[in-house]
């Protein structure tokens, strides 16, 4: 049946009309505790007062000017990101998918300019997600995303996730130019790349002159208890994709890069009409100011420990429904024995929002400024949802 909105989503029968902090209000007045945060987007919850002010103040001054001119909030946000990360330079987009597009182009142009135009292949991993554009689906490579959309963009080599030996073999090919990986897979089921694999990947990249591209669209922006997830392993990438949390709910993405990796991207080689617009960047600056504070990050880690402990108990208490807890920081997953979507739906009936992921996992990705009480409340509601699902066995 045709609908006025292209029916590409299976939507829950819920319509949210307002939000405040970690709570969303349904059209009928019910209040839902939001452990999905718009899929790891609303890092400071809904209608955060400082983000509202940042947006309103900018809205009263200037919405849009072309990138033909200098844009003050864009410059400020780029400086903040460079100050707090490995990067020397930043390009702004409106989404993670667009960040992926530039990451792919940047890697290929780098090798082209260095006199190695055949090094066009980018290694990616099973279970990955890099967006829904032609490059994004080819990068992920799964049948679910690519079937019927061929011919696919060539030049992606798909390997098993977290398999160092397979990687060490694949990088021997003279056509490999880059590796693209999520330090913690989101859509793939909250699967964290082991420290050893991430470090080994960095070594292989250095050894073979390959660029390391990290997709931190979902796991970045303090989500795992570091400003960016790769900081846990002590390595740095050459290129990093960021989006979701960086705009706190306003569409914003970015590609961060070292001067060397970005060397091919000269005037005229890429662009965006809206990327880096004043509204998005004004909000992005405020998000960065708040989440990069060490006290804020410390609190994310403390609350992550609290949530994790409670989830471990929940799993032990409901062995028929849950299998285990996985993930990092406030990017946690519950691997289920029952069907994950049944538990998510039972959660809706308890006014709790969670998000399913691949591998029969439920994602728990709340606002990072969630309170201890809200964590307690969410686990109580999950327990009720689990009990409900267990009754149907
Ligand atoms: C969501 C996501 C993307 C795509 O971002 P959009 O803003 O939806 O285009 C890319 N990579 C990862 C890891 C993501 O989670």
- Torsion, Cα of 94, 98, 100, 101 (10° steps): -150
What SS3 class is residue 332? strand
Question: What are the C-alpha distances in Å from 330 to residues 94, 105, 141, 148, 303?
Answer: 24, 32, 28, 36, 8
Smallest CA separation from ligand 1 atom 5, residue: 96
Q: For a substitution probing ligand 1, which of 93, 94, 129 has the most ligand atoms within 8 Å of its CB? A: 129
Residue 128 structure tokens: 């990955």
How far is 389 from 310, CA to CA, in rounded Å?
Answer: 19
Ligand 1 centroid–CA 60 distance in Å is 30
Q: In degrees, to the nearest 5, what angle opens at C-alpha 216 toward C-alphas 210 and 217?
A: 125
Choice from 97, 125, 240 to test ligand 1 binding pocket (greatest atom count within 8 A of CB):
97
Q: What pLDDT does 2 receive?
A: 81
CA of 132 to the centre of ligand 1 (A): 8
Instruction: Decide: pTM greater than 0.75.
Output: yes
Give the pocket of ligand 1 (CB within 6 Å).
95-97, 129-131, 182, 186-187, 215, 217-218, 243-244
Helix, strand, coil % over all residues of the chain, rounded to 5: 40, 20, 40
Q: Please report, for residues 3, 120, 181, 223, 314, the alpha-carbon distance to residue 230 in angstroms, rounded to integers and kept in the order given.
A: 42, 25, 11, 11, 29
Atom 15 (ligand 1): residue with closest C-alpha?
218
pLDDT by residue for the chain (393 residues), tens only, comes to 689 999 999 999 999 999 999 999 999 999 999 999 999 999 999 999 999 999 999 999 999 999 999 999 999 999 999 999 999 999 999 999 999 999 999 999 999 999 999 999 999 999 999 999 999 999 999 999 999 999 999 999 999 999 999 999 999 999 999 999 999 999 999 999 999 999 999 999 999 999 999 999 999 999 999 999 999 999 999 999 999 999 999 999 999 999 999 999 999 999 999 999 999 999 999 999 999 999 999 999 999 999 999 999 999 999 999 999 999 999 999 999 999 999 999 999 999 999 999 999 999 999 999 999 999 999 999 999 999 999 987
User: Measuring CA to CA, how many Å separate 224 from each of 19, 139, 299?
Assistant: 24, 24, 12
The ligand 1 atom at the shortest distance from the C-alpha of residue 186 is: 15
pLDDT at 393: 76
CA of 183 to the centre of ligand 1 (A): 13
Which of 243, 250, 252, 280 has the most ligand 1 atoms within 8 A of CB, as the residue to mutate?
A: 243
3 state SS of 83: helix
Q: Which residue has the tokens 């330090």?
A: 183
Predicted confidence at residue 84, as pLDDT, reads 98
Residue to mutate, 244, 247, 248, 358, ligand 1, most ligand atoms under 8 Å from C-beta: 244
313's tokens: 């108990």
Walk me through the domains of the chain, giving residue ranges and CATH numbers. 16-34+294-390 (3.90.1150.10), 50-291 (3.40.640.10)
Nearest-angstrom CA–CA distance, 334 and 219? 16
Quote the ligand 1 centre to 187 CA distance (angstroms).
9
Taking CA atoms, 295 is separated from 16, 127, 299, in Å, by 32, 34, 6
């Amino acid at each position: 049946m045709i609908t006025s909105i292209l029916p590409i989503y299976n939507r829950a029968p819920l319509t949210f009309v307002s939000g405040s902090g970690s709570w969303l209000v349904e059209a009928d007045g019910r209040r839902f505790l939001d452990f999905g945060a718009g899929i790891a987007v609303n890092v400071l919850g809904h209608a955060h007062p400082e983000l509202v002010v940042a947006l309103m103040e900018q809205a009263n001054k200037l919405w849009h000017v072309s990138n033909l001119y200098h844009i003050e909030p864009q410059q400020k946000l780029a400086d903040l990101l460079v100050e707090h990360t490995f990067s020397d330079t930043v390009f702004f987009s409106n989404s993670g998918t667009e960040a992926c597009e530039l990451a792919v182009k940047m890697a290929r142009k780098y090798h082209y300019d260095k006199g190695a135009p055949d090094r066009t292949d980018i290694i990616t991993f099973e279970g990955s997600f890099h967006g829904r554009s032609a490059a994004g689906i080819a990068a992920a490579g799964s049948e679910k995303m690519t079937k019927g959309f061929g011919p696919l963009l060539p030049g992606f080599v798909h390997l098993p996730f977290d398999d160092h030996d397979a990687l060490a073999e694949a990088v021997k090919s003279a056509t490999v130019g880059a590796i693209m990986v999520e330090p913690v897979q989101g859509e793939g089921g909250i699967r964290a790349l082991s420290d050893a694999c991430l470090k080994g990947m960095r070594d292989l990249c250095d050894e073979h002159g390959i660029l390391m591209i990290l997709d931190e669209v979902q796991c970045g922006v303090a989500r795992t208890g570091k400003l960016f997830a790769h900081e846990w392993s002590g390595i740095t990438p050459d290129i990093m994709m960021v989006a979701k949390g960086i705009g706190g709910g306003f569409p914003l993405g970015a590609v961060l890069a070292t001067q060397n990796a970005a060397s091919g991207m000269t005037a005229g080689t890429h662009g965006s009409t809206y990327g880096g617009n004043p509204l998005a960047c004004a909000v992005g600056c405020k998000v960065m100011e708040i989440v990069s504070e060490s006290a804020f990050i410390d609190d994310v880690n403390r609350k992550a420990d609290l949530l994790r402990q409670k989830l471990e108990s929940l799993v032990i208490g409901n062995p028929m429904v849950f299998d285990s807890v996985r993930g990092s920081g406030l990017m946690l997953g519950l691997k289920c024995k029952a069907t994950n979507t049944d538990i998510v739906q039972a959660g809706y009936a308890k006014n709790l929002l969670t998000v399913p992921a691949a591998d029969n996992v439920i994602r728990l990705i709340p606002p990072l400024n969630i309170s201890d009480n809200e964590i307690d409340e969410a686990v109580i509601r999950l327990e009720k949802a689990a009990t409900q699902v267990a009754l149907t066995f």
